Structure 1
């Protein structure tokens, strides 16, 4: 689902932002698999991935693009905050 004129996802996200949301929506087989996939598949360091992911959690474009994933991440974040 991309805007053919710009080659960007319809919600206005960059390709990297859309890929981060897609990766976050997947399940991973074991420890380290996700980080390895981030490095190899996305070509970015896991630290950068999580920085981008944290910013996307508050971005309305991300919510429009992947509401299930973003809402799940927001619930997890809120649960962690309430435990502190």
Structure 2
């Protein structure tokens, strides 16, 4: 199994942080990765479904997958 790239590791470490102000995370995404938030979340969504991401930090991946499932269920209700 291939190891995570430095950017992939950085993305996962970035997801451990918390932000206290609306829009702060989106601004940090742009500043840190040079990506739009939409593009960042597309890449993250693919990354968290890989075995290498799970091997790197299983608890974080479980949390991110859980969070994604909750959002999808909530959006499906609306």
Structure 2 length normalisation: TM-score?
0.80
Higher helix share: 2
Structure 1 runs (4+) greater than 3 angstroms displaced: 80-83
Aligned residues: 74
Q: Partner residue of 1:48? A: 39
Residues of 2 paired with 1:73 and 1:50: CA distance?
Answer: 11
Query: What is the Cα-based RMSD across aligned positions, in Å?
Result: 1.6
Q: Which runs of 5+ in 1 are unaligned?
A: 1-10
Higher strand share: 1
Structure 1 length normalisation: TM-score?
0.75
- Answer yes or no: is the 8 Å Cα contact 1:38–1:46 preserved in 2: yes
